[in-house]
Structure 1
Amino acid sequence: MIVLENVSKVFPAKNNEVIAVDKANIHVKKGEIHGVIGYSGAGKSTLIRCVNLLERPTSGKIYINGEEITSIPPHKLDNARRKIGMIFQGFNLLKTATVYDNIAIPLKLIGIDKAEVKARTEKYLEIVGLADKHQSYPSQLSGGQKQRVAIARALAQEPEILLSDEATSALDPETTESILDLLLKINEEFGITILLITHEMNVIQKICDYVYVLESGKIVEHGTTIDLFSNPQKPTTTKFLGTIAQRNLSPSLISQLNLTGSVQRLTFTGDIAGEPLLAEMSKRFAVVPNILAANIIELKNGVIGNLVVHVAGEKEEVENALLFIHEQGVGTEELEGQN
């Protein structure tokens, strides 16, 4: 549905070029929700603006539903763009127009007849839960309501793809949750493919099937959400995970606890997260597991449990116990700092 092949965007600068996006490869299948996460300045906004050619890539190809849109001349792009809706962090609503007109005006501008404009506007206001606000103005709405209007405006053109540019970053946590629920509803009921960018890991956690980690314009890691949450490979990914759940104890804290034996991070995924494997481990081997930290993360498509455990006992027994638990499908990683 959305394919980026070696897409780069380079901006000229006074003394040097600025590479905002560097050979990005993305493949979003129809009906999936993919997220691109990165810190400020990573190139996220430039990347997503390349998808609908608001920014034309310096090199590379972009395909939408099998059509290479990077080969379409600028004056013929309107039809291709109608397949792609977009919602923005700043809402981009007309301040002097009512909620109804913010949705209806773009439809009128592309030549949709009056009856169809009315039907679509009313339909999508109902879907986003704002049917009673049709005569309100943006200044009379909360941030979450403004974003719902923006989503309704994007949906009213009945796109196949929805792009989200930090759509929840200006909202409070409760409103963010409601907007994410709305995006999930839209994806499930209409089968709309969604590509979003964010710097909030909880957004990825809640709704994404697949995630790309962007750093200095490069995709440094990518995979299914459950794979990245359970086994991150890059420091940037690990830092982002640390914003929603404690996965480690610092080496200095482990050292202060004056622990002998092994301190391990154990990662449980899927059904294993509910199994009493530590109890079984202590029954089978002469070891004593002591939980130092724990959390469970609920993802769109699964559950991940993280435990930081001190396993006390003779070296051979500890090694055999960890081998046993690893064979049950539990990820194991020794943490630094123990004596």
Structure 2
Amino acid sequence: MIQLQSVVKQFEAKNGTVTAVDQVDIQVKKGEIHGVIGYSGAGKSTLIRCVNLLERPTSGKVIINGVDLTKASPEQLRQSRQKIGMIFQHFNLLKTATVYDNIAIPLKLLGYSKQEVEEKVKKYAEIVGLTEKLASYPNQLSGGQKQRVAIARSLSQEPEILLSDEATSALDPETTDSILDLLLEINEKLGITILLITHEMNVIQKICDYVYVLEKGKLVEHNTAIELFTKPQHPTTRKFLNTISQRSLPDSLIEQLNLTGAVIRLTFVGESTGKPLIADVASRFHVQPNILAANIVELKNGIVGNIVVHINGTAADIADITRYLTDNGVQIDVLGGTANE
């Protein structure tokens, strides 16, 4: 449904040409939720604006439902844009218009009749939970309610694709969760494909099927959410994961503990999360694993568990233990320690 092929976006600056997006390839299938994550300045906002050509790529292709928008006629581009909704970090609501009128604005511009406008406004206000707020003004709403108005406004045009540009960044954690739940509901009930950008790993964790990691305009890693959380390859990805899960211990702590044996991280996913493998290791290999840190991360499509343990044993013992755990579906990473001979 969405294909970006070798997309490049450059800007001219005082010091020369700046490449904000550099040879990025993305493919989003119908009905999926994909997320692009990166730090400030990574090129995320520029990238998502290339999808509906709010920013026209310097080179590359943007293909929506088989139509390359970079080569589309003005009329083709207009028709394609009508099928793409977009929500922003700061809501972009008219302060002097009611909730009803804010949702109705694009419908009136598209020439819908008064009755059609009323039907659509009420329908999508109900979906986002704002039926009782239609006569209110933006300054009477909370941040979460304002974002719901913006979402209803986008949905009122009945798009096939919804683009989210840091839509939860200005919200508190509890409100963020409620908006993410709403996006999940929209995806599941209306079948709308969602592409979002964020710098918050918890957003990726909660709703994304597939993830792209962007750094300095380049795509440095991409994978399913489950694979990315269990087997991150790039340092930037690992930094993001460390913000929500205890995947490692500070080097200073490992050195301070002066541990013999090995400090290892066990990553559990799927069926392995329900097995008493630590207890099995203790009884089978006659060791006493010392749990230093642990957490569970619930993803949209599964659960990932991380446990950092110290095991005091010989190099041969550690090899046998890691082999046993690997055979039972656990991913092993050695973080430190000095194995006994």
Q: TM-score, normalised by structure 1?
A: 0.98
Unaligned runs of 5+ in 2: none
What corresponds to 1:133 in structure 2?
133
Shift of 1:115: 1.3
Which amino acid letter does the alignment assign opposite residue 312 of structure 1? Answer: N
Give the match's secondary structure for 1:77. helix
Asked if the contact 1:286/1:313 (under 8 Å) is kept, the reply is: no
Asked if the contact 2:262/2:337 (under 8 Å) is kept, the reply is: no
Give the match's secondary structure for 1:287. coil
Give the match's secondary structure for 1:80. helix
Following superposition of structure 1 onto structure 2, how do residues 209-220 of structure 1 map, counting pairs within 5 Å?
209-220=209-220
Give the match's secondary structure for 2:119. helix
What corresponds to 1:153 in structure 2?
153
What corresponds to 1:3 in structure 2?
3
Shift of 1:295: 0.5
Asked if the contact 1:251/1:337 (under 8 Å) is kept, the reply is: no
Q: Does residue 167 in structure 1 map to residue 167 in structure 2? A: yes
What corresponds to 2:14 in structure 1?
14
Q: Does residue 236 in structure 1 map to residue 239 in structure 2? A: no
State the alpha-carbon separation in 2 of the partners of residues 337 and 319 from structure 1: 14
Alignment RMSD (CA, Å): 1.1
Shift of 1:74: 4.1
Q: Which one is further off, 284-293 or 301-310? A: 284-293
Asked if the contact 2:263/2:311 (under 8 Å) is kept, the reply is: yes
Give the match's secondary structure for 1:313. coil
Following superposition of structure 1 onto structure 2, how do residues 1-339 of structure 1 map, counting pairs within 5 Å?
1-74=1-74, 76-336=76-336, 338=338
Q: Percent identity?
A: 69
Shift of 1:282: 2.1
Shift of 1:75: 5.8
State the alpha-carbon separation in 1 of the partners of residues 297 and 100 from structure 2: 39
Shift of 1:236: 0.6
State the alpha-carbon separation in 2 of the partners of residues 165 and 283 from structure 1: 51
Give the match's secondary structure for 1:123. helix
Shift of 1:237: 0.6
CA displacement, residues 273-297 of structure 1 (integer Å, 9 cap, x when unaligned): 1211111122222332111110010
Unaligned runs of 5+ in 1: none
State the alpha-carbon separation in 2 of the partners of residues 18 and 321 from structure 1: 51
Which amino acid letter does the alignment assign opposite residue 67 of structure 2? Answer: E
CA displacement, residues 96-146 of structure 1 (integer Å, 9 cap, x when unaligned): 111101111210101112211110000000100001111111111110000
CA displacement, residues 40-73 of structure 1 (integer Å, 9 cap, x when unaligned): 1000000000000000000000111111111113
Which amino acid letter does the alignment assign opposite residue 235 of structure 1? Answer: P
State the alpha-carbon separation in 2 of the partners of residues 18 and 67 from structure 1: 28
Which amino acid letter does the alignment assign opposite residue 46 of structure 2? Answer: T
Q: TM-score, normalised by structure 2?
A: 0.97
How many residues were matched structurally?
339
Q: Which one is further off, 257-266 or 70-79? A: 70-79
State the alpha-carbon separation in 2 of the partners of residues 282 and 12 from structure 1: 62
Asked if the contact 2:92/2:150 (under 8 Å) is kept, the reply is: yes
State the alpha-carbon separation in 2 of the partners of residues 337 and 130 from structure 1: 56
Which amino acid letter does the alignment assign opposite residue 88 of structure 1? Answer: F
Asked if the contact 1:87/1:154 (under 8 Å) is kept, the reply is: yes
Q: Which one is further off, 61-70 or 33-42? A: 61-70
